[in-house]
Amino acid sequence: MGLDMYLKRANLHGYTPEQAEAANAYYSMMEHNKENPEEQYTSIQEWAGVDDSLLDMGAVEALRSQYRPTYFDFDVDKLFPMYDVFEQVGYWRKANAIHRWFVQNVQDGVDDCGTYIVTREQLEQLKAACERVLAIAQIVDGQICTGISLDGEEERRIMEDGKVVANPDDCAEILPTQCGFFFGMTDYDEIYIQDLENTVNILTEVLEQTDWDTESVCYQASW
């Protein structure tokens, strides 16, 4: 439980991410119906909670060659495939400063767990912001918060030796952290720095390996 963040890539053939996700749901539903004649579904709303009005059969056909099976973590025997046209090309866990950047710069400030197309220029801007922070951050020994414990009804921060940022205000001017429902810690410390280093690595690879003439990169978060 918490903030999970994904970069996904696909050739959308001009369709929106929402239409692609509806196509995913429809294709998965039809594959399920083939394999389970005793358990039939007739709508993607019933099957996966996806608005039926988003379903475009043109998208289902255009994306057909890209459907790939994915599996829930509990499905270790891979008995219940779901199909997805998106390839996951980046993942973060509770990197709230990075999430805030996407919400403010890609999602027009709307934090709704939706799927949003991110341009190459936007990814370049985020990478540059991370690199600026990494260049100016002054890392020193200190105490970092690794969790929260309850002492009666009072929350108590669990502190351990680690590395902290000595100039957090300078970093916050570029990439501020953000509190939220299970968004993780908002301190400027080694975890914050690791999130930025991870982001630079992810974006470098995505920028280099994406065919920007045919493929779209999308950001989606959930919690």
Cite the beta strand spans of the chain per DSSP E: 4-10, 68-70, 82-84, 87-93, 115-118, 139-151, 154-165, 216-222
pLDDT at 79: 84
> Are the C-beta atoms of 28 and 82 separated by less than 8 Å?
yes
- pLDDT tens per residue across span 173-219: 999 999 877 788 899 999 999 999 999 999 999 999 999 999 999 99
Nearest to 49 by CA among 29, 70, 73, 34: 29
pLDDT at 152: 72
pLDDT at 32: 93
Contacts of 197 by beta carbon, 8 Å cutoff, 6+ apart? 130, 134
pLDDT at 169: 98
The 216-222 sheet, strands edge to edge: 87-93, 4-10, 216-222, 115-118
Contacts of 40 by beta carbon, 8 Å cutoff, 6+ apart? 33
pLDDT at 157: 84
Residues of the chain with pLDDT under 70: 1
Report the sign of the C-alpha dihedral through residues 136, 137, 139, 140, in that order: positive
63 secondary structure, DSSP code: T
Q: Which residue has the tokens 């090309």?
A: 89
pLDDT at 146: 82
Contacts of 136 by beta carbon, 8 Å cutoff, 6+ apart? 167, 170, 171
Say which amino acid occupies 106: V
pLDDT at 60: 97
DSSP helix/strand/coil, 72: coil
DSSP helix/strand/coil, 85: coil
Terminal CA-CA length for the chain: 6
pLDDT at 47: 94
